[in-house]
């Protein structure tokens, strides 16, 4: 059985510090209620630091992170103590790092705009068609990596929620990984996944997208009786 590498203490400390800060920032915005959300950052080529299952993401400490190889093997980064339990959603993080080498960080939060708008779009969808949130004409689109103009049109995929992570990952494979150029995806009634070259870029995108989802919700109030 292969093991992820034990990483240098300073590399580990930097990764953890960046993710702790991202957790606090997300908590301040109300995106990680209860124990929701998870955060990860690549270390080197083949390993990542990721939040364990359980703690509140606004008050993370070093013991709340574990080291994972891209093969999914878990190991404590600095010694051989039995590692904490990984989150059920770890597979969705791994999938993005495996698919795209440029992904250096993945942020998943249960932000209200993403949660409500994704649910509404999924409810309005016609059977069988891929569901997306279309964002166009907003200056804020320039906060997305590689976007230089408000004339950009972003289609954020929405996948159906599931407690079966293999089924969810299969949907993401079909509707997200297969589309180059996407910056994020939504899980209906659940939240958002976004990624970037580093934690800062991923956080900038989640902040921009949540703002845009909020704009969409204000622009198109729910119809009477809509669910
Ligand atoms: Zn979640």
Distance from the CA of 27 to the center of ligand 1, in angstroms?
14
Q: How many angstroms separate the alpha carbon of residue 190 from the centre of ligand 1? A: 6
- Binned at pLDDT 50, 70 and 90, residue 144 comes out as very high
pLDDT digits (tens, 9 = 90+) for 127-140: 778 899 999 999 99
Query: What does pTM read for this prediction?
Result: 0.92
Ligand 1 center–CA 33 separation, angstroms: 10
Residue 177's nearest CA partner among 169, 188, 186 is 169
Question: Judging by DSSP bridges, how do beta strands 184-187 and 153-159 pair with one another?
Answer: parallel
Instruction: Tell how far the Cα of 156 is from the centroid of ligand 1, in angstroms.
Output: 17
CA of 36 to the centre of ligand 1 (A): 6
User: Ligand 1 centroid vs 148 CA: distance in angstroms?
Assistant: 30
Q: pLDDT tens digits for 93-120?
A: 999 999 999 999 999 999 999 999 999 9
Quick one: pLDDT band at residue 82, thresholds 50, 70, 90? low
How far, in Å, from the CA of 187 to the mean position of ligand 1?
Answer: 8
pLDDT, tens digit (0-9, with 9 covering 90-100), for 162-171:
999 999 999 9
Whether residue 161 is predicted with pLDDT greater than 50 in this model: the reply is: yes
CA distance 184 to 104: 14
- At 172-208, the pLDDT tens digits run 999 999 998 999 999 999 999 999 999 999 999 999 9
Whether 1 shows a pLDDT value over 70: the answer reads no
For the stretch 98-136, what's the b/e string if a residue is b when 16 or more beta carbons lie within 10 angstroms of its beta carbon?
A: eeeeebbbbbbbbbbbbbbbbbbbbeeeeeeeebbbebe
**pLDDT over 70 at 79, yes or no:** no
pLDDT at residue 226, as a whole number:
44
Among 45-49, 50-54, 207-211, the range with the most confident prediction by mean pLDDT is 207-211
Give the whole-angstrom CA distance, residue 93 versus residue 169: 10
Q: How far apart are CA 16 and CA 23, in angstroms?
A: 10
Look at residue 81 and tell me whether its pLDDT is greater than 90. Answer: no
Dist. CA 37 → ligand 1 center (Å): 5
Distance 185 CA to ligand 1 centre (A): 12
Which stretch, 47-56, 63-72, 208-217, has highest mean pLDDT? 208-217
What whole-number distance in Å separates Cα of residue 169 and Cα of residue 183?
17
3-state DSSP of the chain: CCCCCCCCHHHHHHHHHHHHHHHHHHHHCCCCCCCCCEEEEEECCCEEEEEECCCCCCCCCHHHEEEEECCCCEECCCCCCCCCCECCCHHHHHHHHHHCCCCCEEEEECCHHHHHHHHHHHHHCCCCCCEEEEEECCHHHHHCCCCCCCCCEEEEEEECCCCCHHHHHHHHHHHHHCCCCCCEEEECCCEEEEEECCHHHHHHHHHHHHHHHHHHHHHCCCCCCCC
State residue 9's pLDDT score: 85
């Amino acid at each position: 059985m292969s093991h992820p590498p034990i990483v240098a203490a300073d590399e580990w400390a930097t990764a953890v510090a960046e993710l702790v800060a991202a957790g606090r920032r997300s908590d301040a915005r109300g995106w990680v209620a209860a124990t929701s959300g998870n955060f990860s950052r690549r270390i080197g080529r083949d390993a990542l630091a990721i939040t364990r299952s359980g703690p509140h993401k606004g008050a993370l400490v070093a013991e709340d992170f574990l080291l994972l190889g891209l093969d999914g093997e878990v190991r404590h980064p600095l010694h051989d103590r039995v590692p904490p339990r990984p989150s059920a959603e770890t597979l969705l993080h791994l999938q993005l790092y495996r698919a795209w080498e440029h992904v250096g960080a993945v942020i998943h939060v249960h932000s209200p705009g993403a949660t409500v708008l994704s649910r509404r779009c999924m409810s309005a969808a016609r059977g069988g068609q891929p569901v997306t949130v279309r964002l166009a004409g907003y200056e804020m689109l320039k906060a997305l990596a590689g976007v230089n103009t408000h004339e950009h049109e972003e289609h954020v995929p929405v996948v159906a929620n599931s407690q079966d992570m293999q089924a969810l990952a299969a949907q993401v494979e079909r509707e997200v990984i297969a589309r180059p150029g996407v910056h994020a995806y939504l899980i209906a009634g659940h939240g958002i996944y976004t990624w970037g070259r580093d934690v800062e870029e991923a956080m900038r995108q989640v902040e921009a997208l949540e703002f845009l989802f909020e704009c969409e919700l204000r622009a198109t109030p729910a119809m009477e009786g809509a669910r």
